[in-house]
Structure 1
Amino acid sequence: MKKFMNDVDQAENEMILGLVKAYPKDLRKLDCGNVVVRRNKKVNKVALISGGGSGHEPAHAGYVGTGMLDAAVAGAVFTSPTPDQIYEGIKEIANDAGVLMVIKNYTGDVMNFEMAAEMAEADGILVKQVIVNDDVAVKDSLYTVGRRGVAGTVFVHKIAGAAAERGDDLGQVQETANKVIANVRTMGAAIRPCTVPAAGKPGFELAEDEMEVGIGIHGEPGTHREKIKTANEIVDLLLDKILADLDYEGSEVAVMVNGSGATPLMELFIINNRISDVLKEKGISVYKTYVGEYMTSIEMEGFSVSLLKLDAQLKSLLDEKADTPAWKAW
């Protein structure tokens, strides 16, 4: 294994320290673990917390800031953060308006966030949650009961965060977040695995001429493995599944072409070229397109496509100001 690291056991901690040192005016790290919070705490506005295992950077700490998250909790690579860490994050950002937890649908994440919420509620903190399950590839996986939460989670951060920033109450922010969840679908593919530092070897194997279709963000198996195809053919496979799952006909959408960590922008733009053409042929209007790395899998060579069906409310919130390390909108 070749990685730019010092001590594998300190990788997550040093990563978070490096992040907050890059943005010292905006972010700070709590002493209780790898919990990142806004330096300037909200007052009388709903606060958002999210998180999960490390290895998905810039998710989730990269989205802490104005218009998005108030806190993000990072566990070890591909491992849920502990309830105690999440609880400390909730306590740090809580105010009278309450806290919304944005949880990706992985069994460990759901269990640990819900335990943390119970601890916070015992302190009198008002907490609600949403669970993101945007992946259309498989119903159940190694880590989930039901569909997985993947890159569409970032749209939840952005839109629910904007609703909170403008002063919506906790019930309204939760409703808006659930509206995003109901209208976003994602599917991905990969041609090379990633290596979890603590393991020191790739999490799975693919032959040089193979790809995994519908892969998860931790390297979980997808729908099937087959011979690699052209970029256009792979896009068609993914879009067929996404468009069959939700009726996008005649709608406006936001498109996210998300790199898994080691896919060059050249290839992501080639992928987007096909996505744009296919959606146009199907009468689906693209309102905004995001191409880049939003929720990675360390250095996996792969990508996912997310489509968010928009209405006037979601468009307005998507366009609202955001100022975070990984997402800026003015």
Structure 2
Amino acid sequence: MMTKDEIKQMLKHVPHFPGVYRYFNKDGEMIYVGKAKNLRKRVTSYFSKEPESRKVRHMVESIQRLEFTIVDTERDALLLENSLIKHNQPKYNINLKDDKTYPFIVIKNEPFPRIFLTRNVIKDGSEYFGPYTSVRKIRGLLELVRTLIPIRTNNHNLFLRIMEDGRLRVNPEYYLKGISGPKEEYLTEADYNRGLEQVREIFKGRLGLVINMLQNRIKECVSKLEFEKADILRQQLDFIMEYQNNSIVFNTKVKDLDVFTIHLKEDQAYVNYLQVRKGDIVFTKTISIKSEVDKTLEEMLLSSIVQIQEKFKRTLSR
């Protein structure tokens, strides 16, 4: 366990910014990833009071090094935290259940899968997307998806008998609620699964398909002078665009990229490096530098990039 002087020295460089922090043990293994509105306040709390549980105490006793990354919003912190946990599988994020209350979207592991919000991640072969910070926005996204792609929402027992026929109506609720509709329109399980592939792309943030679809529908409505329908579709398009551009951490157009940002606090500057591989953030590093009065932020950032590139030149993308 670190001495009081070592802890004090470690905390000295942690800023009062929102961000994500990582703890490492003596072997250099990442053992915990967390997020905070105030990094200094949150990290200090681990060492200023007796841990509430035995597992937290064991974790604190194992900490030998701290790293942090500064972000702008709670959503950015959540996405970065989730990405680092998924990629590194830190020991105490698996054992501790403090941060498991955010909702996910689940595609159930079943024939003609249902899609809905849940806070319980069950290892039953289902697919989970998230976590998300805004239930309202995700409910809006789900509602929009259901207007574009036929998705089953009812778990009625009658559905099991319909499956034997191998077909599902274009409006899945027809069989489940007796909604009337043209009998010649059917949806096979293969067709339904093709729709699911579009849904997966949407939940992964690859929204080009939906955006193009909405834009074409708007043009069609305008050409038919159906302006009220066009206005509703425009609102849906605005919602999708807002969802797509909501985060500086998560950008689905990116595959491999190295991202550098700089944050200034009084006479101290913090330079973040995010390593994105195949669309996921797999590594992040922050260095602290003294602010120089004769240099602009851009000049300080460029100088820091050279240092970081030299240190991580084997892993930076070309």
TM norm structure 2: 0.26
